[in-house]
Amino acid sequence: MQDFADAFALALNLIGSRDPDLWAAVLLSLQVSLSASLMAFLVGAPLGAYLAVRPFAGRSAVLVLVNALLGLPPVVVGLAVYILLSQSGPLGGLRLLFTPLAMILAQTLLTLPIVIALTHRATAGFWERFGDSLTVDGASRARSVSILLTMARAGLVTAYLAAFGRAIAEVGAIMMVGGNIRGYTRTMTAAIALETSKGNLALALALGLILISLALAVSAGAFLFGRRR
Amino acid sequence: MLVRFCRRAFFVGSAATLLCAGTARAQERFITLASTTSTEQSGLFDHILPIFQKQSGITVRVVALGTGQALAIGARGDADALLVHDRLGEDKFVADGNGIDRRDVMFNDFVLVGPKADPAHVRGLKNASEALTRIASAHAAFASRGDDSGTNRLELRLWRAAGIDVQKAGGGWYRELGSGMGATLNTSAALNAYTLTDRATWAAFANRQALEILLEGEPGFVQSVWQHSRQSAEIPKCESR
């Protein structure tokens, strides 16, 4: 238990200190994970609701696929994005490898299935209840999607937070495409992995505590955001 | 009111981070250096990179990887310079036309670490073969990197030199971890296992618990020479760099 007490004290010390490396990692973690989950949300939420509205050929297959992708291994996403962005890869010309943008791209792909699946789940029930009335009223597919998204707002917050949670906790994909460059692409999770490998267990755990506090703050923010007026 | 403010702040915050990330690509001049993890962990870069940057105006972005992975990304053109330690792999890298200007930069020696209690009685020995033979016959736990790193390759050569086939060695005393040096040291400390480590990583490693150096200065331990290969400008894909 001493280790946990040490880590807690160290975490408080670190927060009080002005360690530039720490704050760079905190900002980068937030920047990358918020951006990735936001992009996944903007793309995924309408797709998820669209899947709930009126069946089309192959919808079940798409749903099975999306749900399977919930278990997408980060290291595989990292590898795929690495190969895409590599100088020898199809998008090498963009020179995005080992930059924060590459990390955002990887995490967007990683979290997209989460947003789609959870949004579908949140909106499908509303469609069952109100779908007929919407159809009778002559609402277009796009209009139905937007109405469903408004109705399922609480569920959407959960979808966003699940995506953000996966992104901020993730290390395999971002280390691969970001390169864990100090002061540039070193996130909190990468720093934790690094300190662990250096045997600085208390410091690693302290960084973990700070990371959890960050997630807590974002969760609280999203909660307020999602609350009805 | 508070709620409304928070909503707006949250949204603006998200949009701003997205924007920042979009413009975060630094305009500074930089090179990407793929380096073995142990060099980074030794703290060397913290000392020399600021000096280099001051003199040249070029930022060095260090990507720390195992030697095998560093060679692989170098071959794909994703690093401008490599700092690796596997002579055979480097020679092949240069022979394949992936890099030029291979140089010996520094050397690092290896040490055999193990539990203070030393169940296989290797402390004070002067010979790696003898030490490994004793570990094998005592069936004392030995943690191997098992990741095809330079250190792992050296370790396997030492076992071969001692005439021990670790793949066939039963008894579960030989553990292949498939991990980097730091993770392997953490596991060794937890298992009270012997392991081979480079001195730089060991010197910077904080979680030693009951581990200590039992064998060092063996001639076979100093054979690792660190090298530096520069990307060839002749590789078309690298020309834009």
Q: Find the CB nearest A225 among B6, B26, B76.
A: B6
Residue B130 C-alpha, separation from nearest chain A C-alpha, in angstroms: 29
- Dist CA A68 CA A49 (whole Å): 18
Angle at alpha carbon of residue A203, lines to A199 and A207, rounded to 5°: 125
* Same fold? B20-108+225-238, B110-222: yes
Architecture of domain B110-222: 3-Layer(aba) Sandwich (3.40)
Residue ranges of domains in chain B: 20-108+225-238, 110-222
Residue B235 has pLDDT above 50, yes or no: no
What is the rounded average pLDDT of the residues A142-154? 92
A97: tokens are: 């490898």
Which range (A77-81, A213-217, B85-89, B218-222) has the least confidence? B218-222
Asked whether the beta carbons of B175 and B142 are under 8 A apart, the reply is yes
Q: Which of A27, A33, A35 to mutate to test the interface with B (most CBs of B within 10 A)?
A: A35
- Dist CA A128 CA A39 (whole Å): 28
pLDDT of residue A229: 42
- Dist CA B74 CA B63 (whole Å): 11
For residue B192, give the H/E element and its range.
none
Q: Pairing mode, if any, of strands B142-144 and B174-176?
A: parallel
Between these two residues, A38 and B41, which has the higher pLDDT value?
A38
CB contact under 8 A, A99 and B18: no
Residue B77 C-alpha, separation from nearest chain A C-alpha, in angstroms: 5
Given the candidates 3.40.190.10, 3.40.1440.10, 3.40.50.410, 2.60.120.10, the CATH classification of the domain at B20-108+225-238 is: 3.40.190.10
pTM for the whole thing?
0.82
- Alpha carbon dihedral A196, B179, B95, B29, in 10-degree steps, equals -20
Number of domains, chain A: 1
pLDDT of residue B156: 92
We report the CATH number of the domain holding residue A31 as 1.10.3720.10
Cβ neighbors of A103 (< 8 A, separation 6 or more) are A32, A36, A173, A174, A177, A178, A185, A187
pLDDT digits (tens, 9 = 90+) for B113-157: 999 999 999 998 988 999 999 999 999 999 999 887 888 888 999
CB contact under 8 A, A199 and B41: no
B122: tokens are: 């290797």
ipTM above 0.85, yes or no: no
**Number of CB pairs < 8 Å for A and B?**
106
Residue with structure tokens 């001692």? B162
Least CA distance to A41: which residue of chain B?
A: B14
Q: Which residues of B touch A100 (CB under 8 A)?
A: 21, 24
Asked whether the beta carbons of B58 and B29 are under 8 A apart, the reply is yes
